[in-house]
Amino acid sequence: MVRTAVRPDSPTFWKEVAATPGGAALATCIQCNTCTSSCPVEALDADFNVRQFIARIRLGLREDVLSDEAIWSCARCYACVAHCPKNVRPGDVLEAVRHIALREGRPGPGARHTRAFADSVRRNGRIHEARVTFASLGVRGLLRQGLLPVRMMLRGKAPALRRHPIKSVAEVQTLIRAVEESP
């Protein structure tokens, strides 16, 4: 993908990310590209580049970064964290960016999927795949899938339409509340 030129709109964006859990070591990045070289998502999608995300954050491209749907493509595998020579924890920096995007109520399938995933665990203690898929994609997104859902159904791979909460759902809810209320 050819990126069109964007202007910095928030010179202090890097400070905002650095102050968010996961972003603290952002400023020490030396742009060596080790993170990108070890990233499995980059191998599948050339538009996803974790080193460039760090550079864009430091350049102050706030809107450009927060509105980039690719921030949700990270697989949270932490290969980049294991290999970074400066302990920047680039995967966690992306987590901090996603955190800001969620806090601002950003739209888009990635943010919707994360909210639906969390709501499903809060409500059931586990994932209700059908509901999470519907909430993430919406009617239009599902229609864009074409015959895939039908083919999945025919092969017995479609997610169940009904899911009961697990027995210990109250314990899961207590854990989630504790995390949400922690500073």
Q: How far is CA 164 from CA 95, 111, 124, in A?
A: 30, 25, 7
Contact predicate 142/109, CB 8 Å: no
We find the least distance from the C-beta atom of residue 79 to ligand SF4, in angstroms, to be 4
What CA–CA distance (Å, rounded) separates 132 from 118? 9
To ligand SF4, the closest distance from the beta carbon of 49 in angstroms equals 9
At 133 the three-state DSSP class reads helix
Pick the closer one to ligand SF4 by CB: 79 or 121.
Answer: 79
CB-nearer residue toward ligand SF4: 83 or 122: 83
CA-based torsion, 18, 22, 27, 32: positive or negative: negative
Helices 50-58 + 90-103 axis angle, to 10: 60
Interface with ligand SF4 (CB under 6 A): 29-35, 38-41, 50-51, 54, 74-80, 84-86, 88, 90-91, 94
Instruction: Write down the least CB distance from residue 36 to ligand SF4, Å.
Output: 7
Tokens standing for 105? 């109520």
Shorter beta-carbon distance to ligand SF4: residue 36 or 128? 36
Q: Please, which residue, 91 or 125, has the CB nearer to ligand SF4?
A: 91
Closest approach, Cβ 156 to ligand SF4, in A, equals 30
Give the HSE-up count for residue 1: Cα atoms under 13 Å, Cβ half-sphere: 10
Tell me the closest approach of the beta carbon of residue 162 to ligand SF4, in angstroms: 33
CB 126 within 8 A of CB 87: no
Nearer to ligand SF4, 18 or 50 (CB): 50
